A and B are shown apart, each in its own frame.
Chain A
């Protein structure tokens, strides 16, 4: 599968067609180039927002509400202003003067920058203290006295939709309930019919719990207004600097050319740094008003408690099938918690994101999905945490349901997948919910994963343990997911109205090296290396001779940013197309240098040189051409050697893969241990395998966090009980096993270099594989589902329900009864 021979031929016009490529030793496509960005990070020279220090810089501390639902009766700033070093205390009243009291969310809801009237979630931003240093700002914040009239909160989506639930959004005219939106997809009637006629139907309720992306660097900004130039620079932790500039202009009324957003080194994003948060606005506004730089950096608890959470989809899944396992229809109903504002971060025409890709990797004729979203007294969100807009929830639903169906029918979960996969010859494939899958070979990936996992052996071992009543059960989980990534096209996908294209600009310098600027931004994905590799490949340059810049709206071409695995599919395509534009011009220069006709000049990918057709020794390198472009340019051309491309993808790309997880479940403690973790991914043509593998590892670790540990929880009073790293548990080196990765290569036919994007596949694909594995360990005893996070007590409760638990309670109670005895569990 992975041979280069399968790659596509070069398109005549150099247009967006996959090209064939292979390593030429110059650091082009497919080579494990060591990352260019590493040098500064391993030597402590990274430059993250909190590292920025400016003369006269002030610090901002935000006063947050301890209550989840409360009306603000009074804010007394006086004691805070008395603190030596406190420069200003801002409240909504102050911001209102500048028309900055509210800001639009990405879904065009209106969120308070600082609470105008009523607090809607715990830790909401109430006031901001600006002071000469970090500690003084905190002193000041402690002295802001806020009188609250505490209201009854509702933090549960189901409860919030009940008639007697307290009204959260009384700021919306005529609003009488906490209903946020309804959405549906597919053919309800046809699906109902299919369910009536089917031999078998299965149904399962499952909660995709509230998560937080929790990058290790929190969000922050340095607002830096320069009154001399009348220009506002905001250094901020932004995954989408250009769109943030546009939003800043819209919110503040400052003309867009007077705003510069710089996203410096960013310590992980994962969707958390796509939205605009009040802290950014306050830091920028304070700098504008005070004419001094103002830094705001949130603490971890502020990050988890107030910035964009992810998931929180309470789903019911149903499948209708024939007796021999052919899936006829899928149906789902979702209750979504959107928090206090509709602030999901996704294309505005997709209120449920790309959730309607819930038919997954399977050829299913009929589907219907419905969704209701509710407001609750919790932080706003529903961001795409390492996820292309709810595809994670969709994949979880379908991959879990396939396992439920397999168990119902007594079929092998690998077999039932094989039976229902969309076949390679069916591509391009249009799904029953309207998605146009570009390419795939799902069985190829599954077969490879089964082989790597030694599947048959573990099935036998599983049975042996059941037969021998072993202490530890074995479970084997499969997930054969399909992702949809790379939004646009612009005609269907937008962020705040701006079409989702992306861009790259290439400048080849007179001495033969190049600067590439891209509209996307990296938070660890390695763009400075992979984009250089694309250009190296397409121009025959050495990767060492290319510098990639990003994250500065003053210098980079406009782009929509990095999320939804869209950098390679969209900006990567732009880099390839811009390179080909340069290559076209280079041909004219080569003709001039070689004194030949332009039509006779060909470019040889292998050597990276331009030569006269039929005379390979009459050739020039890109270095020579660069010199020619500036020192001896042909009269038919403008001097210089540059190109820019704004790429609007014709379609999205559909990476896929099969993950197999083998776990041991301890019947006494409910603990789950990973025995084997196999991940086979297909992201089309591969740019840098080392970086891809790194992305897979990281995403799988996040998938394990999701499945085993992470959950943002609340108590009935609306207090966040999982709001810091003591209580919101990120997996450590002790919980994450070693992964075995493999790949197949099925290029995207519509992408210029046949690449599909990969960053999110592992986070999307792994949670159902892990849950399927744990369920699989108990499915012989009738267990069909275990909710995430699968902590030992959750798993033990299921073991107990299935009569599989060996009861530690017995030994514990014995210990209590007889303190003197040295009782431990039977072993």
Chain B
């Protein structure tokens, strides 16, 4: 099984060209070829979400995709959060939220939760509790009972709003501006829906019009 293919993955803004077997799962490529072990594996059926990363802005379960299928895409993992502009050289507000609100215990689900949280807030900067619960419903946590994870994401939403306000009303968050497909992104990628199992389309789709308040159906 030595037949391999060369693929290019841009992870957290850095381009990597690697040789992978066609059957290698994206999560293994990230963890084992690129040595970014922040993304975890918790199941073999696509149920747990520990492996969640953003692919071209959209949260995906990286255990449900071959690395070759991600060829040419922009990926974001937990390791990239501190480099985002809204982290302002420190922790991203989501990371801060998880610490402030005790949104983690063993920490195993946390990177996936952060990614799902990021995708949600990119799309919907002011989510309701119900929307947060829905956004993380594909991420299992055995430790926290979710309540503090919800609070953590709420904390981040507030922080991000403050960051945006401090910047004179223009958002620095990548893609928090849902009304424009040209919103500035950390890695200059195109923006799309950002919600798993949704339409998969860009944020300018009619379902994602700012008027709908970020509702997903």
Contact = CB atoms under 8 A, between A and B. Distances in A.
B48 A733 contact: no
Interface string B93-121: 00100111010111111110010000000
A46 B149 CA distance: 18
A299 B44 CA distance: 6
Contacts of B108: 46, 48, 215-217, 267-268, 524
Q: Is the interface of B mostly helix, strand, loop or mixed?
A: loop
A680 interface: no
B146 interface: yes
A48 B88 CA distance: 28
Nearest to A272: B142
B99 A135 contact: no
Interface in A31-76: 34-35, 37-48, 50-51, 53
Contact of B105 (A45, A85, A694): A694
Interface string A490-526: 0000000000000000000000000000000001111
Nearest to A83: B1
Contacts, number: 182
Select the residue from A526, A690, A725 with max chain B CB neighbours within 10 A: A725
A265 interface: yes
Contact of A730 (B24, B36, B140): B140
B100 A34 contact: yes
A289 B100 CA distance: 47
Contact of A300 (B45, B91, B137, B149): B45
Contact of A697 (B21, B43, B79, B148): B148
A274 interface: no
B146 A41 contact: no
B41 A50 contact: yes
Contact of A724 (B38, B43, B78): B43
B73 interface: no
Given A44-B39, A46-B107, A216-B42, A734 B137 contact: yes
A134 B32 CA distance: 10
Contacts of A216: 40, 42, 48, 50, 106, 108-109, 140-143
Given A139-B1, A300-B45, A734-B134, A42 B104 contact: yes
B121 to A, nearest CB: 15
A702 interface: yes
B143 A42 contact: no
A695 B47 CA distance: 24
A736 B142 contact: no
Interface in B9-31: 21, 23-24, 28, 31
Select the residue from B35, B107, B136, B138 with max chain A CB neighbours within 10 A: B107
Nearest to A386: B142
Contacts of A690: 102
Q: How large is the interface on A (under 10, 10 to 19, 20 to 34, 35 or more residues)?
A: 35 or more
A646 interface: no
B81 interface: yes
Contact of B95 (A43, A50, A53, A270): A43
B140 A701 contact: no
Interface in A343-372: none
Select the residue from B38, B40, B43, B106 with max chain A CB neighbours within 10 A: B106
B140 A725 contact: yes
Contacts of A44: 36-39, 77-79, 81, 111
Contact of B106 (A34, A135, A267): A267
Contact of A218 (B39, B42, B102): B42
A563 to B, nearest CB: 14
Contact of A736 (B107, B134, B146): B146
A734 B133 contact: yes
A691 B106 CA distance: 12
A698 B143 contact: yes
B45 A268 contact: no
Contacts of B104: 38, 41-42, 524
B82 interface: yes
Contact of A694 (B23, B45, B102, B138): B102
Contacts of B110: 41-42
Interface in B131-163: 132-134, 136-150
A509 B40 CA distance: 37
Interface in A693-722: 693-695, 697-702
A813 interface: no
A726 B102 contact: no
B212 interface: no
Contact of B147 (A50, A214, A732, A736): A736
Interface string A720-747: 0000111000101110101100000000
Interface in A106-147: 134-136, 139
A301 interface: yes
Nearest to B151: A738
A725 B47 contact: yes
A299 B23 CA distance: 17
Nearest to B105: A524
Contact of A42 (B45, B91, B106): B91
A215 B37 contact: no
A526 B144 CA distance: 12
A723 to B, nearest CB: 10
Interface in A777-796: none
B52 to A, nearest CB: 12
Contacts of B1: 84-85, 135-136, 139
A294 interface: no
B135 to A, nearest CB: 9
B147 to A, nearest CB: 5
A92 B179 CA distance: 64
16 contacts: A34-B99, A40-B107, A41-B104, A42-B91, A44-B38, A44-B79, A84-B2, A265-B107, A267-B108, A299-B43, A300-B45, A691-B102, A697-B148, A730-B140, A730-B142, A733-B137
A-B pairs, top 3 by smallest CB distance, nearest first, are A44-B38, A41-B107, A267-B108
Interface of B: 1-2, 21, 23-24, 28, 31-32, 35-45, 47-48, 50, 77-79, 81-82, 91, 95, 98-100, 102, 104-111, 114, 132-134, 136-150
Given A44-B78, A53-B32, A698-B105, 18 more contacts: A38-B98, A42-B95, A42-B104, A43-B91, A44-B79, A48-B37, A48-B108, A135-B21, A135-B24, A267-B42, A694-B105, A697-B144, A698-B144, A699-B145, A726-B47, A732-B137, A734-B137, A736-B147
